[in-house]
Each structure stands twice: as C-alpha cells, then as structure tokens.
Amino acid sequence: MNPYHPSISAISWYIKYVGLPITVGVTIYSLLCHMNQRKLRAALRNKVVVITGASSGIGEALAHTFYDQGSKVVLVARRGKELNRVKDDLMSKKLSVPCQEPVVLELDLANVDQMAAFVKKVHNVCGQIDILINNGGISHRASILNTDMKVFKQIMEVNYFGTVALTKAALPNMIERKSGHIAFVSSVQGLIAIPDRAAYAASKHALQAFGDSLRAEMHQHNIVVSVISPGYIKTAISINALTGSGNNHGVMDASTAAGFSAEYAAEQFLDAIVNKKKEFILSQFMPRVAIFLRQAIPSLYFYLMTKRANKTEW
C-alpha cells in the first residue's frame, strides 16, 4: 500500500496534531488532579474527625480512611465493645504517616439531651472538632400500615433529631473559631422515596432539608456543610433495619449485598469532604435514574413506585 495514500496521511496527521496533544493534555491534567488530591488529603493530618456510627459499616470504613491520613479519629456509637475493636484494628496498622491514638466515646443518638455534655467531653479530650461526620442511623423495612408509631418516632429520633442535636452542640465552637466542616451521610432515599421505607426515607428527607438550611446559615461563619447521599452499600444496614414492630429485619437484601463496598464508599466520601462538596451522590445506575425521573417526569416515577408497591415486575 502506498504510504502516501491520502487516507493514511490524514490519519497520521490526526494522530500527530490532534490525538497526541489530547492524550498528553489528559495525562497532565490527571496527574495534576492526583497531586492536588494528595495535597488536600495531607491537610487532614492531625485534624479532629468525629464519626458517629463508627462501630461498623460505613462508619468503621470512614474511621480507617481518615486514620490513614493521620487524622485524630473520634469513634462514636452505642456499642463500646465494637468501638474498641475498631480502635485496636486502627492501631495495629503500619502507616507511613504518624497517627494519634483514636478516641472511643459511647453515645446513643436517641438521647438528644446528652449532646452538649458529649461535645464538651470531646473538647476536653481533643481540644476541638474540625470535622463532624454524622453517619449514625437506622433503617426500616415495612409498609406504613404495618409500622407502629413507636418505630416512626425511634427512627426520627436517631436519624434526624439526634443528628440535629449533636450538630447544634458542635456549632458554637466552630463558629467561634470560624472553621469547621459538618458532613451528613444521608441516602438516595433522602432524594427519592420508595415503598416499605417510609420511616427511613422521611428521616433522610428531613436531614437533606436541614443540611441545605444549615449550609446557607453557616456560610458567613466559614463552616462547610456537605450532604452525602449513598445508594446501596454492602453493610449490615438491612440486617439491622427495624421492622414494623420494631424488631430487627435480620435479612441482607439482595440489592444491599450487591452494593459498593464500604471501603470504596469511604474513600469517595473522604474525597467529597476534602473537596468541600456541598452535595455528593454515590449511587448505582437505577437509583440515579429514579432521582432523574422524580425531578423530570414525576408521573412516570409515581407509576413505577406504584408497581413496586404492588410487587409487580417492572
């Protein structure tokens, strides 16, 4: 074949003057982004990071992720034994950065009257709170008709009122220092609601609204507010979810079992926080479609949710 054939020359010209510059440009851009991300992560060193729900799942994975960056991690949950297990796991790691000993503090988010005393305890031990990650919460698996009011109240107390009370208790010191970051681990169900999740979705809807209001009010005080909405993450959330009577669901949902790993989610959440993202959604394709439909074609979304509620294939 003639090497000077017009089509060969055109391809060669395209590769040399278009393809190669684009490739080099993308490579340089990716490298710069990676370097910037490392710089942002390095800024987490010695920051006091309080993580609720740190005894398992996403909270435990977040503890590892922030500890790996050299943060002083405060592990918070009801189960002291599990928190100490997480602490031991952290301290057994061989890391290249110096790490301060994690702090274990027990707290039941349902005890809203204890939040001021809890925050004071954190300040006494750590001096301040740089980042508060409101991750603790419980889920729900039952229809509205088959859910006792005590379950609605319990889920709202933990997921919403407990989180609000803890956040309010942490704010004065942050405002005084003109520095701080508050992150809420919500859910895609804070953006859409599906059948048999009413109590959980309602609590997360409330958290989304609270986060948006807080973000606007705290801007003048230089306090960052992030609302993180994950889809399916492979944790024990469905196993520990409450049924309509208040018992544990005790079953790993297929969608949860097929979800992102908690470790992957934690890495994504950390980057969302260091990049000071106001809102971050980490989700599979179908929940993203549902979010789009709810906003753009609500009638279709309502139809699909009706089919789901009636256990009809869709």
**Digitized pLDDT (tens) for each residue of the chain, 314 residues in all:** 445 455 667 677 666 666 667 776 667 756 666 666 777 778 899 999 999 999 999 999 999 999 999 999 999 999 999 999 999 999 999 888 788 899 999 999 999 999 999 999 999 999 999 999 999 999 999 999 999 999 999 999 999 999 999 999 999 999 999 999 999 999 999 999 999 999 999 999 999 999 999 999 999 999 999 999 999 999 988 898 999 998 889 888 888 899 999 999 999 999 999 999 999 999 999 999 999 999 999 999 999 999 999 874 43
| Per-residue exposure over 243-263, b if at least 16 CB sit within 10 Å of its own CB, e if not | bbeeeebeeebeebeebbebb
- On whether residue 73 sits in a domain, the answer given is yes
| Same domain membership, residue 300 and residue 200 | no
> Would residue 173 count as lying in a domain?
yes
Pair (312, 302) in one structural domain:
yes
d(CA 166, CA 144): 28
Taking the model in full, what pTM does it have?
0.86
- Is 2 inside any structural domain? no
Which residue is listed with tokens 């989610």?
265
Instruction: Verify that 89 and 127 share a domain, yes or no.
Output: yes
In a domain, 24, yes or no: yes
The reply to whether 293 and 153 lie within a common domain is no
The single residue of 200, 232, 301, 303 carrying the catalytic annotation is 200
* 275 shares its domain with 134: yes
pLDDT for the residue numbered 236: 85
306 falls within a domain = yes
Q: Does residue 119 share a domain with residue 222? A: yes
Q: What is the pLDDT of residue 1?
A: 46
Output the domain CATH number for residue 128: 3.40.50.720
In a domain, 66, yes or no: yes
Domain count, the chain: 3
Whether residues 33 and 150 share a domain: the answer is no
Regarding whether 33 and 57 lie in a shared domain, the answer is no
Closest C-alpha to 63, from 76, 78, 81, 79: 76
Domain that holds residue 32: 7-38
Clarify whether residues 141 and 188 are in a common domain. Answer: yes
Task: Establish whether 200 is a catalytic residue.
Answer: yes
- Asked whether residue 210 falls in the same domain as residue 126, the answer is yes
User: Does residue 102 lie in a domain region?
Assistant: yes
Q: Could you give the CA distance from residue 297 to residue 290 in angstroms, rounded to a whole number?
A: 10
Residue 98 and residue 70 in contact, taking contact as beta carbons nearer than 8 Å: yes
Inter-CA distances, 124 with 46, 71, 73, 129, Å: 16, 17, 15, 11
Do residues 157 and 274 share a domain? yes
Q: Which residue's entry shows tokens 């079992």?
A: 257
Q: Are residues 77 and 150 in the same domain?
A: yes
Find, among 172, 44, 60, 66, the residue nearest to 119 by Cα. 172
- What's at 173, amino acid-wise? N
Q: Is residue 1 part of a domain?
A: no
